[in-house]
């Protein structure tokens, strides 16, 4: 068994979440939580409006996307620099925004709601 000293590059590659990374994660967590809160509200209120034609797959997708994108961004950014972590969270939030706008467009085009 050899004991090699840990180099600075190895130490940097294993960087952990420091306080700036935690602040970034919390900010993007709050933004994703806002979208998640709206998805929960839609899951509760829209079946009353649509009745038997409720697009359940869309409501469940809107509920899952913010959770999954935040988890994936957090997982992918765990050993990255602060800039890369922030970029992962921005990409995840962009995916959430696109799916939300897409679901609104779907409901408006198929159900005629404004």
Sequential DSSP letters for the chain: ---PPPPHHHHHHT----HHHHHHHHHHHHHHHHHHHHHHHHHHHHHHHHGGG--HHHHHHHHHHHHHHHHHHHHHTTTS-HHHHHHHHHHHHHHHHHHHHHHHHHHHHHH---
Share of the chain above pLDDT 90, in %: 66
The mean pLDDT of 72-91, rounded to a whole number, is 95
pLDDT single digits (tens) 40-63:
999 999 899 888 888 999 999 999
Q: Tell me how far apart the alpha carbons of residues 34 and 48 are, in angstroms, rounded to a whole number.
A: 22
Handedness of CA 28, 70, 92, 98 (dihedral sign): negative
Distance of alpha carbon 79 from alpha carbon 85, whole angstroms: 8
Taking only the tens place, the pLDDT of each residue in 86-113 is 999 999 999 999 999 999 899 888 887 6
Residue 48 burial (CB count, 10 A): 8
Compute the distance between CA of residue 39 and CA of residue 99 in angstroms, rounded to an integer.
Answer: 11
């Amino acid at each position: 068994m050899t004991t090699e000293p840990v180099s600075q590059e190895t130490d940097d590659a294993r960087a952990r979440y420091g306080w700036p990374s935690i602040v970034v994660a919390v900010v993007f967590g709050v933004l994703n939580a806002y979208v998640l809160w709206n998805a929960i509200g839609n899951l509760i209120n829209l079946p009353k409006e649509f009745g038997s034609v409720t697009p359940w797959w869309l409501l469940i997708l809107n509920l899952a996307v913010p959770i999954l994108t935040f988890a994936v961004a957090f997982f992918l950014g765990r050993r990255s620099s602060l800039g890369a972590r922030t970029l992962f969270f921005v990409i995840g939030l962009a995916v959430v925004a696109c799916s939300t706008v897409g679901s609104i467009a779907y409901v408006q085009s198929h159900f005629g709601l404004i």
